[in-house]
Amino acid sequence: MIVLGVDPGSRATGYGLIEKKGGTLGCIAAGEVKWSSEVPFFERVHGIYRKMVEIMRRFEPQEMAIEDVFFSKNAKSSLKLGHARGAVLVAGVECGLRIFEYSPLEIKKAVAGFGGAGKEQVQSMVKCHLRQDSISSLDASDALAVAICHLNWVRYEYEAGRVSRT
Amino acid sequence: MIVLGVDPGSRATGYGLIEKKGGTLGCIAAGEVKWSSEVPFFERVHGIYRKMVEIMRRFEPQEMAIEDVFFSKNAKSSLKLGHARGAVLVAGVECGLRIFEYSPLEIKKAVAGFGGAGKEQVQSMVKCHLRQDSISSLDASDALAVAICHLNWVRYEYEAGRVSRT
């Protein structure tokens, strides 16, 4: 099974694809979508959608795990984040993926073992989980962390005989 | 020229299509996209995108006018509004429309003459502009108001010899 993890953000949207073969997790691809602030806002939003659709068609993941909403106190940031998240969700449904959402706390606990882990700690643990050293972007490692969190949940749910989270 | 006006909202997204023939404005279609809260959030966001694409393909507007961001103090509402707005913008760029944004103040001034007009006053004036009595939804009349605002701006800009707002 291939899972696409996404960490949408108002400045950059991280993505990471993980394939599970038996008990082993392998990173297929990871990166971030980032645009110059000179590009009109609506084109940047569409760019996130286009990039997501491109990734989904190329790697054909069956499921998408996305970071759940972090309620910032800043309404302006929330609004921008909403645009990015909306573009990602539209792409996911459009490409027929099953969508799962996880809170930042769930993700950090799943990857680093505790909810207070910083971005660097998460990245370090993601590298250990995937046995891969070449993940440089923090947005990409955050996205891979969401995918790992989902795959942990899937394993747990399958073991418990439950398969639907939505 | 056919203009699609959109008023995205966290609960309902209004839309309205206006055709300008000579000096006359005619309403082609108007309505709102609304979903039961029982439908998963990501499906509602995709539903806005799907409906917008359907309208754009059916009526083939060349330009889209969308209400600019109203900075609510509530981060949760802003986030939901962002998702809806993101879905509308993705649809607009995907269908090749030129996109224009107007603030609530600009829209109210253009339609009702003053920035403090309420939703009912805006609806009443929209009915006058379009000589049509059958607009019942306030979200639809708000969307038509955005399209009227844009058509006013286009007329003004053409008269002044300027044609690009973006």
Ranges in chain B, pLDDT < 70: 70-73, 157-166
- Interface probe for B, chosen from A42, A72, A97, A101 (most Cβ of B below 10 Å), is A42
At a CB cut-off of 8 Å and minimum separation 6, what does B123 contact? B135, B138, B141, B142
Residue A81: inside a domain, yes or no? yes
Pairs of CB atoms within 8 A across A/B: 100
Q: What is the pLDDT of residue B118?
A: 87
Structural domain count, chain B:
1
Q: Which of A7, A63, A106, A142 is catalytic?
A: A7
Read off the CATH number of the domain in which B7 is found: 3.30.420.10
Residue B164: inside a domain, yes or no? no
Active site (catalytic) residues of B:
7, 67, 139
Share of chain A above pLDDT 70, in %: 92
Residues of A in contact with B72 (CB under 8 A): 75
Q: What is the pLDDT of residue B161?
A: 57
Residues belonging to chain B with any Cβ–Cβ distance to chain A shorter than 8 Å: 40, 42-43, 45-46, 49, 69, 71-87, 89-90, 92-94, 99, 166
At a CB cut-off of 8 Å and minimum separation 6, what does A128 contact? none
Cβ atoms within 10 Å of A59's Cβ, excluding its own: 14
The total number of residues shown for chain B amounts to 166
Residue of B112, B149, B136, B119 lying closest to B5 (CA atoms):
B149
Domain that holds residue B46: 2-159
Q: Which stretches does DSSP call E strand in B22-69? A: 24-34, 63-67
Residues belonging to chain A with any Cβ–Cβ distance to chain B shorter than 8 Å: 40, 42-43, 45-46, 49, 69, 71-87, 89-90, 92-94, 99, 166
Identify the residue with better confidence: A160 or A61.
Answer: A61
pLDDT tens readout for residues A5-31: 999 987 899 999 999 988 899 999 999
Distance from the B89 Cα atom to the nearest Cα atom in chain A, whole angstroms: 6
Angle at which helices B41-59 and B75-94 cross, to 10°: 30
Q: How many angstroms separate the CA atoms of A120 and A141, rounded?
A: 9
Residue A96: inside a domain, yes or no? yes
Residues of B in contact with A67 (CB under 8 A): none
Q: How many angstroms separate the CA atoms of A119 and A125, rounded?
A: 10
Q: What is the pLDDT of residue B165?
A: 52
Residue B166: inside a domain, yes or no? no
Residue A100: inside a domain, yes or no? yes
Residue A13: inside a domain, yes or no? yes
Q: B70: buried, middle or exposed (CB in 10 Å: 19+, 13-18, 0-12)?
A: middle
Residue A119: inside a domain, yes or no? yes
| CB-based contact A86 B81, cutoff 8 Å | no
Q: What is the pLDDT of residue A72?
A: 65
Q: What is the pLDDT of residue B49?
A: 97
Residue A165: inside a domain, yes or no? no
